[in-house]
A and B are shown apart, each in its own frame.
Chain A
């Protein structure tokens, strides 16, 4: 592992993040009418003074490019503005809602790995058999079904067959860990299934790929046990593409969590985002979008680093 590679990789993601902020900035500015008008909208609890302050904050009298830098500067200092609905600090709101989304995301990834990798392995090992074909079809169905549809099926089934099962509602982990996990079960399983379908497919292809390579034949012929060849050699090498796909799925995960949180009434970032969209609470919308994208960029960076640890063959250049 080369240290300079990591540094360079980190430096390379800075322009991406800057471009992302520029895209968000420009999109908001493209909306007809000026930002302050739009932000004020129908709100009338803002005082004259606050409105003037806002004009100044946005630097609307200055050219677009300096407006951008003023905005960027306030972002870097952690000033994300205040919610137009509640007057709360947006950064505080994000911190409040983040744990729910994080828990949903982590549990979903967990489910997707537990389901996706074993099924993909079985499929690869039983290539072109009845088992493989069934798993393939299941994977395709998972890939094609909207998360909200799978979610409704689960909701209908669970409310039918289980009386004591809380579907809608939220209890924090600290308050009641068991109840919390029960509440997260359906949403994270639903979201996890969607991602499992992708992981399954890539696990299958990359395992088949690895198993057909010469080193596997060599390992077999030198008398290694079948399991050892599969798990110690082939699987380890097949992990790289699997991790890539899992990384790409992070975006899907955040998109999906918007749907799932709203469906299951979980008070996370996705629910806050939709509420803010419905209330035209632009500072909150803008902040959540930026936050999600920057988190994704950083997570992808981390995944890149994980590669090099798992798979030393990865070319650092």
Chain B
């Protein structure tokens, strides 16, 4: 563990990304502390102002403070992406464990269904579900959650198969542990590093999927701000007020970049054999 930490912080990029993500998490819990204005408050005196001291990200067509809206946007984007990831990682890991551990018919059935879901591009499937059931926070979480189940199921299945025949798993069987216990207490800890890396890399794409839906106008409906939604609504003013799109977009890029750097960093230190 110590060596792991030492290796991890050796790369300054990893440290920077951890700091940024720490800030993002703080913002997600306490957006009110950071945001200088009410994100929904309109101010007809100050519409479409370019960034200045009072409004560091400028204001939108209703005079709302873009910085405050971005801060609350971070909260709602993180809430949706993280909840979705929890759904897909739990469900996907469960399916992957079953499929990889039992093999045979169970594996066949699960793998075929997973393959079929996998054939859907993530944005297309999420968009389809949201279009059918409506864009609410709950539906977005479920939609994005479903979209990433196959990736977890596939990755976990593969790694379960690679450890299934190893001695310690066989030993656990001989000792008489139940299948379920073996999966959760013997196999899962051994593939945990793969789980962590899969979680991190897909978390970043889940944020992008949520942002893309928001950009297309299929995210949490206005006036509530989401990062993707801010960019999408801003495109109407792209030539007159480019800050409306460029700044919230940059926030998305920075968050996703930090998660990707973290993912790469974890991949390098956690299991140098498994991922190169």
Listed in ascending order, the chain A residues whose CB lies under 8 Å from chain B are: 15-16, 19-20, 22-24, 27-28, 30-31, 140-141, 143-149, 152-153, 155-156, 159, 205, 208-209, 251-256, 258-259, 262-263, 273-274, 277-278, 285, 289, 292-293, 296-297, 300
Contact = CB atoms under 8 A, between A and B. Distances in A.
Interface string B78-121: 00000000000000000000000000000000001101110111
Contact of B246 (A152, A255, A293): A152
Nearest to A155: B238
B184 interface: no
Given A31-B132, A289-B128, A254 B245 contact: no
- For chain B, give the interface size range: 35 or more
29 contacts: A15-B112, A16-B112, A16-B115, A20-B119, A22-B116, A30-B132, A144-B253, A144-B259, A145-B252, A145-B256, A145-B257, A146-B212, A148-B228, A148-B231, A148-B249, A149-B231, A149-B249, A152-B231, A152-B234, A152-B235, A155-B239, A159-B239, A205-B276, A251-B122, A254-B121, A258-B212, A259-B216, A278-B217, A292-B121
A172 B187 CA distance: 56
A140 B201 CA distance: 12
A257 to B, nearest CB: 10
Contacts of A292: 121, 124
B248 to A, nearest CB: 9
B239 A148 contact: no
Contact of B211 (A146, A156, A208, A253): A146
Residues of B contacting A: mostly: helix
Given A254-B121, A258-B123, A293-B124, 19 more contacts: A20-B120, A28-B132, A146-B211, A146-B228, A152-B235, A152-B245, A153-B246, A159-B239, A208-B276, A251-B119, A254-B124, A255-B212, A274-B216, A274-B217, A278-B217, A285-B128, A289-B120, A292-B121, A300-B119
A131 to B, nearest CB: 17
A156 B212 contact: no
Interface string B215-232: 111100000000010011
A285 B131 contact: yes
B228 A255 contact: no
Given A141-B253, A141-B257, A277-B127, A146 B119 contact: no
Given A148-B212, A156-B246, A274-B216, A289 B124 contact: yes
